Structure 1
Amino acid sequence: MAFEPPPRLLRALGETPGGADTDDWLRGLPDRADEAVAGLGLTVERVQVPGGRSSLVLLVRRADGTPAVLKLVPPRSRPAGERAALAHWGGLGAVRLLDADAVPDGVLLLERLQRDVSVRSLPEAKSMLEAAGTLRRLWVAPPAGHRFETVAERTERQAEAMRACADPDVTPLVDAALAARAELLADAPEERLLHGTFRQSKVLAAERVPWLAVGPDPVVGECAFDLARLVRDRVEDLIATPSGAAVTRRRVKRLAESLDVEQERLRGWTLFRAVESGVRALRVGRDQDAELLLEFAGWL
């Protein structure tokens, strides 16, 4: 069976090139998938389409017939970090890692969730409640001697790219976002292991518990950074609503209160992350996404 990457994955990799490592990964992907399937004694059902933006996902069955997911991740998506985070969570709040010792680098074998059912399928108030509850379970102390990237390190890389933005219309928002980051890092609270890219679509229906998180890009830092991405979920609906700005401010307040996060810190990280995503969208030519994100950031 040919394990070709879905178009969605190819587009995402093309927007943020990873250089020779990513090119090599794509060229070797069919062979790597074959080797992983054979080595783990799996039977492939199908390639998940449209799949993710950072991995090839195969729906498989293990030798005993148990359904599972085989995920092949390029180097630029830090598969070692994802594996380490999932192992540390041990299935609490997140998808369970399977056969960790037998799986080669860059490959993850995971329990099968209902990939077509995320909390986004619920009414907005309920989806926010379930997503927030899932996120809370992930906020644990990082393992001793961990090698996860920190929020300060990740956002410094992002800040460098933001400073390079030459659009004068965006400069005031970039300046505000960078100032918020500097202030937040100067007085950061206790660090926790964070999901890193948490949003409603990253929370899938499961059998052993109602909802579990998938697809982390783990980072260590304060909880408000993780929660900030959730604030702008369904941003297209917020922008389309005449009261979108007021709804956003209420959302910041409610999420901060429900998860014991300081409201101003959540507002600051929400601003930074929205502007960073907007600038990145501009850089790769996704102008409509950039417009939505930057308008949202202006409300903060």
Structure 2
Amino acid sequence: MWPTEQDWRASVPRLLRHAVARWDLRAGAPFGGGSISHVLPVTTPDGRDAVLKLSFPHREAEHEAAALAWWDGDGAVRLLAVDPDDPFVLLLERCDPGVRLSDRVDLPAADRLRTAAELLGGLWAAGVPDADPFERLTDVAAGWADLLEERMRALVPPFDPGLVRRGAELLRALPVGARRTVVVHGDANPGNVLAAGRSPWLVIDPKPMVGDPAYDSGPLLAQVDGPFRRADPTATVRARTALLADVTGEPVERIAAWCTARAVESALWSVSRGALGDGRDAMARAAVTDRLAD
């Protein structure tokens, strides 16, 4: 169903020409850092600054445009247009100055966490549209559980089998036990929060699903100011999980449990790609958050 990355990269010049012609854009030099996307500043015919995003077609990004349209600029970058023939070609509002929250190391970790968590709360408040196209987190997480169990059996990494079982159990149980369901961002890491003009911060790059909002907090907890590298990671993670719970209204235990589940899934994914060290790190994170999940 999906093209290979090599085939897609070969098609980027054609896709770019087509999009520029369709919307009569003036294009600038591409931004750096897009591992599986081609993103560049553009100017529309009426002089508006915008961004053209060509994404590598894959399952997680298939409904990015639908999520952005649903949020309609409330906490997220605005969708200006989508190619009717290709849902992975988007014309987006440009964030200016566009500094990533992950780069604002001058801000206290608590401020960064609060900023992102407040944005997520706004996205969740939109609820779920009628006849939405999004995948269900229940189905996706159950698939992850099956896959991590298969990888554990096939690859036999030196991981705590009890913690791996715990991760799989949580992936199956957490979605069905959700107190409410919303359109989750799906990749709410601090690199996907940009400083903007019409609002201090906006989120970008959703990988939307419908499910438990507590799912969204994991990347923030793991990627803001390295809590798992602290001398007492449990105390640091406990305090930051409590902060996220206070801002979002989601229970500490569910936030921590989702962090455990996602870390175990990440660990087995890393091993499947030959990155045992990354897998060990993820399992260490899972061990910390699992102590907070009960």
Count of matched residue pairs: 281
Distance 1:277 1:189, change over 3 A: same
Q: Deviations over 1:98-125 (max 9, x none)?
A: 1347684320000111475122203211
Shift of 1:190: 1.5
Match of 1:55 in 2: 37
Matches of 1:293 and 1:269, distance apart in 2? 13
Q: 1:229 to 1:220 in 2, by over 3 A?
A: same
1:182 to 172, 178, 187: 172
Q: State the Cα distance separating 1:207 from its structure 2 match.
A: 0.4
| 1:158 matches 2:141 | no
- Code of the aligned partner of 1:253: A
Match of residue 171 from structure 1: 161
Question: TM-score by structure 2 length?
Answer: 0.88
Identical residues among aligned pairs (%): 32
Instruction: Indicate how the Cα distance of structure 1 residues 86 and 213 shifts in structure 2: closer, same or farther if over 3 A, else same.
Output: same
Q: Which amino acid aligns with 1:197?
A: D
Q: TM-score if structure 1 supplies the norm length? A: 0.87
Which residue pairs with 1:129 in the alignment? 114
How far is 1:142 from its partner?
Answer: 1.0
Equivalent of residue 147 in structure 1, options 124, 133, 146: 133
Q: Is the 8 A contact 2:138 2:176 kept in 1?
A: no
1:117 matched to which residue of 2? 99
One-letter code of the match for 2:221? V
* Pair 115,216 (structure 1): closer, same or farther in 2 beyond 3 Å: farther
- Answer whether contact 1:115 1:205 (CA < 8 A) is retained: yes
Structure 1 residue 208 corresponds to structure 2 residue 198: yes
Read off the aligned partner of 2:271 and give its amino acid letter: L
Cα distance in 1 for partners of 2:215, 2:228 equals: 22
Task: Note the residue ranges of structure 1 that are not aligned, 5 or more in a row.
Answer: 1-17
1:37 aligns with 2:32: no
**Aligned counterparts of 1:159 and 1:67: Cα–Cα separation in 2:** 43
Question: Residue 110 of structure 1 aligns to a residue in which SS?
Answer: strand
* CA RMSD, 1 decimal: 2.1
In structure 2, runs of 5+ residues without a counterpart are 290-294
Between 1:63-72 and 1:107-116, the stretch displaced more is: 107-116
Alpha-carbon separation, structure 2, partners of 1:150 and 1:114? 33
Q: Is 1:96 the counterpart of 2:81 in the alignment?
A: no
Instruction: Determine helix, strand or coil for the equivalent of 2:39.
Output: strand
1:1-300 alignment, distance < 5 Å = 20-50=3-33, 52-100=34-82, 104-114=86-96, 117-120=99-102, 121=104, 122-139=107-124, 140-163=126-149, 164-165=151-152, 166-234=156-224, 237-300=226-289
Partner SS state of residue 135, structure 2: coil
Preserved contact between residue 52 and residue 89 of structure 2 (Cα < 8 Å): yes
* 1:71/1:101 CA distance change after superposition, 3 Å: closer
Q: Which has the higher contact order (CA 8 A, sep 6+)?
A: 2
- Tell me the distance in 2 between the aligned counterparts of 1:93 and 1:150: 22
C-alpha distance after superposition, 1:168-189 (max 9, x if no partner): 4243321111122333234222
> Could you tell me how far apart the structure 1 residues matched to 2:3 and 2:248 are?
42
